[in-house]
Structure 1
Amino acid sequence: MKISTKGRYGLTIMIALAKKYGGRPTPLKAIAKENNLSEHYLEQLASPLRNAGLIQSVRGAYGGYKLQKSPQEISAGDVIRVLEGPIMIVEGIENEEPAKQALWRRITEAVKDVLDNTTLDDLIQDHGEPKDAYMFYI
């Protein structure tokens, strides 16, 4: 499975909104500028996120977007499924031998587990550091 720019930039939008949760709506223009992304492309991604009930738009001079739910209630899996579709590592495994089918299913379930158990709150709290990192000195 390859996460396209739809999923990656969609998570960028959602993380930016999670950081501002409880505050004023955030314009996509600000998210685009901060992340050096196309505002037009982010607008295309906001529509399915809004239709899925993950974000809401606020019109007006101080308008923009806000999360519909708290960052603790939205998982990375929610965002990826809306923008990328079902999470599958390999498609069409029915014709493969049973041992390979089992492997692909296990890998798919592991990926789903990580995405579904990683919330936006986790992403804004975790700055890329492994939780159980070991330090090695040479």
Structure 2
Amino acid sequence: MKLSTRGRYGLKAMFDLALNDGDAPISLTSIAERQGISVNYLEQLIAPLKKADLVKSVRGAQGGYLLNKPADQITVADILIVLEGPLGPTECVRLLGDDACEQADYCVTHMIYEKMRDSLLQVVTTITLKDMVLDHKRMHAGPIDTQFFCNK
């Protein structure tokens, strides 16, 4: 499964908010500079994250964005599902109900795709933004204003 730039950059932005979490809101401009993402694109990513109550905005000269929940209560899955939709390697295992695959009961590959989806969900539902921050701190003793993820 390959994530789109929406998922990858949205995760980077949320990680940046968690890493720089404090009393003051964080501007999209500062996130954009640290993460190498355009401000315009970040605005498009923040809107659905705000609608999903993962972030909140603060207006004004010192405004910006803050996590709406503690970092240990926001999982990678929370973020990716908002930005990417249901997760899974194929459409047939992302759909539910009447839209689900009609051949699922006798399709061997469907079972494989379900196992892949379940494995992916097991990972992304157990990793929180706090876990990512702690991993970063273990990996990097350097300044916070460097890029944290590869862009590929």
Equivalent residues of 1:21, 1:70 under 8 A apart: no
- What's the CA shift for 1:92? 2.6
Structure 1 unaligned blocks of 5 or more = 130-138
Equivalent residues of 2:13, 2:35 under 8 A apart: no
Equivalent residues of 2:88, 2:117 under 8 A apart: yes
1:68 maps to a residue whose letter is: N
Specify the SS of the correspondent of 1:72: helix
Give TM-score, length-normalised by structure 2.
Answer: 0.79
Give TM-score, length-normalised by structure 1.
Answer: 0.87
After TM superposition, list the pairs within 5 Å mapping 1:99-118 onto structure 2: 99-118=108-127
Structure 2 unaligned blocks of 5 or more = 94-100, 140-152
Specify the SS of the correspondent of 1:57: strand
Equivalent residues of 2:17, 2:66 under 8 A apart: yes
Specify the SS of the correspondent of 2:71: coil
Structure 2 counterpart of 1:121, from 125, 130, 134? 130
Give the superposed CA RMSD.
1.6
2:112 maps to a residue whose letter is: L
- Report % sequence identity: 40
2:39 aligns with 39
2:20 maps to a residue whose letter is: K
Equivalent residues of 1:57, 1:66 under 8 A apart: yes
